[in-house]
Amino acid sequence: MALLHNRVSQAELKRLLYEEKEHRTTISFYKYFPISAPQAFRDQLYQGLDQLKVFGRIYIAHEGINAQISVPDSRVDDFTHYINSIEPLKGVRLNVAVDSTNPTGEESIHGKSFWVLKIKVRDKIVADGIQDPEFSMENRGKYVSAEQMNQLMLDNNTIVIDMRNHYEYEVGHFVKAIEIPSDTFREQLPMAVEMMKDNKDKNIIMYCTGGIRCEKASAYMLHHGFNNVFHLEGGIINYAKQAKEKGLDSQFKGKNFVFDDRLGERITDEVIAKCHQCGSPADTHTNCKNDGCHLLFIQCSACAQKMDGCCSVDCQKIFNLPIEAQKELRKGIDKGRMVFNKSKQRLRPRLDEINKPLE
Question: CA-to-CA distance for 289 and 293, rounded, in angstroms?
Answer: 8
Distance of CA 268 to the CA centre of its chain: 18
Catalytic residues: 208
Torsion angles phi and psi, residue 15, rounded to 5: -65, -45
Whether cis (ω within 30° of 0) applies to the bond prior to 349 is yes
Task: Please return the burial class of 309, using the count of CB atoms within 10 Å of its CB with bins 0-12, 13-18 and 19+.
Answer: middle
Nearest Cα to Cα of residue 25 among 91, 93, 98, 83 = 98
Contacts of residue 41, Cβ cutoff 8 Å, sequence gap at least 6: 35, 60
Amino acid present at 66:
N
Beta pairing class for 172-174 and 252-256: antiparallel
Least Cα distance to 202 among 231, 227, 174, 177 occurs for 227
Task: Say which residues have a Cβ less than 8 Å from residue 50's Cβ, sequence separation at least 6.
Answer: 2, 3, 117
The DSSP H or E segment spanning 216 is helix 212-223
Handedness of CA 269, 177, 185, 217 (dihedral sign): negative
What phi, psi does 104 have (nearest 5°)? -90, 0
